[in-house]
A and B are shown apart, each in its own frame.
Chain A
Amino acid sequence: MGNGAIALGALAAGVNLVAGYPGTPSSEILETISKYPHDGVHIEWSVNEKAAMEVAAAAAYSGARAMVTMKQVGLNVAADPLMSLAYVGVKGGMVIVSADDPGPISSQTEQDTRRFADFCRIPVFDPSSPEEAFSMIKDAFEYSEKYNTPVLFRPTTRVCHAYASVETPEYAGPKEYEGFVKDSKKWVIFPRLSFANHAMIEKRNVEMGKDLSGYCGNTVEGGNSKKAVITSGISYAYTKEYLKDYPDIKLIKLATAYPFPEELVLSALDGVDEVICIEELSPFIEEQVLKLAGKHHLQLKVSGKLDGKVQPSGELSADKAAVILSDFLGTQCANSGYNLSDAPALPIRPPVLCAGCPHRASFYAVKQAMKGRKAYFCGDIGCYTLGNAMPLDMVDTCLCMGAGITMAQGFHWTDSDGVCFGFVGDSTFFASGMTGVANAVYNNADMVLCVLDNSTTAMTGHQPHPGIGRNLMGQIVDKVDIAKVLEGIGVKKVVTVNPLNLDASVNAVRECADIHGVKAVIFKSPCIAISKPTAKCTISDKCVQCKKCIREIGCPALIISNGKVTIDSGLCTGCGLCSQICPVNAIGGGADE
């Protein structure tokens, strides 16, 4: 996997410390490192991306090689330390992997990490395949040390989750490093330092652009055609898939979109009349080429996203690239596949909470408790965002990590009659929930916090977090107790319930909703993908086919087969939620019996 290649590339580069926060499509990088020999390397799931960035920065100040991993929206969380770090610089190599997600496939935004590189004035490396990602990590560390700057490394989903064979050398252990040398003029950011370093950085980036013009990842292929193609990252693979039949077309591949390798591109465009920029997310390279054309008065037509030749949003594919390129080159675009215009209507499959997921029971309890009352349900990022699906329909808002808690307060200040709920998962609580709770207590808000504690970071593949008692170094550690944290902050009432006990859960929610101030219900039940319960529920002939179970909770294990409500025993985990809803007690079995 591309993520594995990044991990092994970092180990081969002698990385000393790797910190990150899980997020698709980046999560497997740290997991791969934890599974391969990494003696002497400190690895951690930090509580969030900002923490990871800061932990790694100190290691890099000490001359060690440090890597940070996250998804692109995680970089927003870590933006504060990163911006300042770009001014301060580093001693040991520091590579920040921020995985972009064109589509988006599993993300809130289609933001472009290359913009962040430009914004921070630090270089960005953009691998086009798992093979290239493996070797490029080492290059990224070397450039980082050569210019004493943190560097961004930005794979996209299709590189992260693509598989290819990579030859890896035997693990030689982490790099030796000098250790931190105190020098407050260098490591303490003050306006004077920022002013001086800003000037240095702008000058350095010009030099670095020249240097990168000779970088092996920036390449020019093909002949001296009048029409040329510029691309980068996975778009290069899609482009190449089409251009392999047109080897005379000039193809420029950029692995470093910032600082822009101006000299290389300028010389490659010599004699070219028309160029198309094929890239995902923002028209970053296209804008650089337009600047270049303006600066050097080139007689050059530049195409791409800005003139509508390349789609402005969403991910590209080999097929889409073929259409774009055939249009640009006036060549054939033969898709010899089947015409499916006569296909029957396909069932839609939106992602849903798993059968037996305790989150379903938690949402249902809140819904029942608030029946007939005005309430706001502020959701958050994680599996439980899927609580928005029908028939639960229990997520009114979802903005970003931790926002559910604070937005519930905002709704309270605009409508004091509604009961305001903030939902947060256990991992998200530690990542960015605690400050929001302090904000609520401090500002005297009226809200009910629902912590959906399934004792893992489920959506991204079950990473541990501070509440679990185990870390990535394999150590058994003290658990941070969510109830105690909440009590410590000053939450008035903290109730812990098992969401699979419907009556107790509904009562807990009702009780909390009726008290003024900040209250919390911790719904505690393990993720079924980890605990793998084996009990099954069964339906007896008492069933009157009212379908209330299906209508109310939308469990994938409840299906209609031959006109009858049936439980799919392959999916059922015996959570027993449906048996607590059935008006005629027709459902039995499950964990409680």
Chain B
Amino acid sequence: MNKNILICGVGGQGTVLASKIIAASAMDEGSAVHSAETIGMAQRGGSVTSHVRIGEAYSPLIPGGTADMILAFEPAEAVRNLSYLKKDGIVIVNSVPVKPVTESLMNTGYDGTEMVAYLKNKCSCVVIDAKKICEPFGSSRYFNIAILGVAAGTGRLGISKETILAEIEKRVPQKFIETNKAAFYAGYEEGKKYEA
């Protein structure tokens, strides 16, 4: 199986854990995996991306127009990285925006709706409201796991949900495992609705 998955968002949203779980799960299922992350200066509230390449690959970064799936934790970040998407690829995007400090200062009115509308018009996409899906868990922090559930639910991730759940158990602190699993299932049910 060859798959390119791009994860994007804003520093602090938990994109790195999501990409690590995907990479480790694919490895557990016997695939070769290459991946790359944004680390350092750009992490502080900046745009961040993780590239996960499952199967044969040379470049750790996904070449343009070859991503099978984009997991976007923020609507503008989905648009920013859309050039990576294959024509028949899919975007799973959180509709809740992260407003940069510059936006509060200049008040340009950015609220993400324009981005979501653009994506819907442009490509195949699944829009998830992080606040809504994470409401039962008391914090949007669980969105990074919920979105993995959505991705698995669509049947287009190419990794079984059992493998991902096992990796979640390995990587999440003991006392948060059950909530994270519940967040994964909440996402999974949502993703099922879009199963190809």
Contacts and interface: CB of A to CB of B under 8 A. Distances in A.
A488 to B, nearest CB: 34
Contact of A337 (B38, B61, B85, B102): B85
Contacts of B99: 347, 559-560
Contacts of B76: 346-347
B2 interface: no
Interface residues of A, number: 56
A347 B100 contact: yes
B42 A550 contact: no
B64 interface: yes
B11 A338 contact: no
A240 interface: yes
B174 interface: no
Contact of A352 (B44, B83, B86): B44
Given A319-B63, A338-B123, A347 B40 contact: no
A318 B115 CA distance: 27
Interface in B49-64: 57-64
Closest 6 CB pairs of A and B: A337-B65, A106-B40, A162-B60, A24-B40, A318-B63, A318-B59
B146 to A, nearest CB: 15
Interface string A373-402: 000000000010010011100000000000
Given A241-B59, A241-B63, A554-B105, A347 B39 contact: no
A337 B67 CA distance: 9
B44 A351 contact: yes
Nearest to B34: A164
B188 to A, nearest CB: 24
A62 interface: no
B177 interface: no
Interface string A335-353: 1111010111011111111
Interface in B15-33: 23, 27, 32-33
B100 A349 contact: yes
A25 B36 CA distance: 12
B115 to A, nearest CB: 6
Nearest to A239: B58
Contacts of A389: 101
Interface string A286-323: 00000000000000000000000000000001110010
Given A25-B39, A162-B35, A338 B87 contact: yes
Nearest to B122: A338
Q: Is the interface of B mostly helix, strand, loop or mixed?
A: mixed
B10 to A, nearest CB: 7
A21 interface: no
A340 B65 CA distance: 12
Interface string A232-251: 00101110110010000000
A556 B40 contact: no
What is the interface residue range for chain B against chain A? 35 or more
A105 B104 contact: no
Nearest to B112: A347
A186 interface: no
Contacts of A236: 58
B185 interface: no
A129 B10 CA distance: 27
Contacts of B163: none
Contacts of A129: 60
Interface in A11-38: 24-25
A338 B82 contact: yes
B31 to A, nearest CB: 10
Given A163-B36, A343-B79, A351-B11, A570 B101 contact: no
Residue with the greatest number of chain A CB neighbours at <10 A, chosen from B66, B99, B101, B122: B101
Contacts of A162: 34-36, 60
A443 interface: no
A25 B60 CA distance: 15
Contacts of A386: 44
A24 B84 contact: no
B155 interface: no
A105 B34 contact: no
Contacts of B1: none
A25 B59 contact: no
Given A344-B118, A352-B45, A338 B101 contact: no
Contacts of B36: 158, 161-163
A340 B40 contact: no
Given A106-B41, A161-B37, 12 more contacts: A25-B40, A158-B36, A163-B33, A164-B33, A234-B59, A241-B63, A318-B63, A319-B64, A338-B123, A347-B102, A354-B12, A570-B139
B82 to A, nearest CB: 6
Contacts of A318: 58-59, 61-64
A558 interface: yes
B99 to A, nearest CB: 5
Contacts of B108: 347
A105 B63 contact: no
A281 to B, nearest CB: 17
Given A351-B44, A351-B45, A337 B32 contact: no
B61 A554 contact: no
B157 to A, nearest CB: 18
A483 interface: no
Contacts of B45: 349-352, 354, 556
B80 interface: yes
11 contacts: A105-B38, A105-B40, A164-B32, A237-B59, A317-B59, A318-B58, A338-B83, A344-B115, A346-B79, A347-B76, A556-B100
A377 to B, nearest CB: 20
A582 B23 CA distance: 46
A103 to B, nearest CB: 10
A27 B45 CA distance: 20
A17 B124 CA distance: 53
Interface string A139-165: 000000000000000000010011111
B118 A347 contact: no
A551 interface: yes
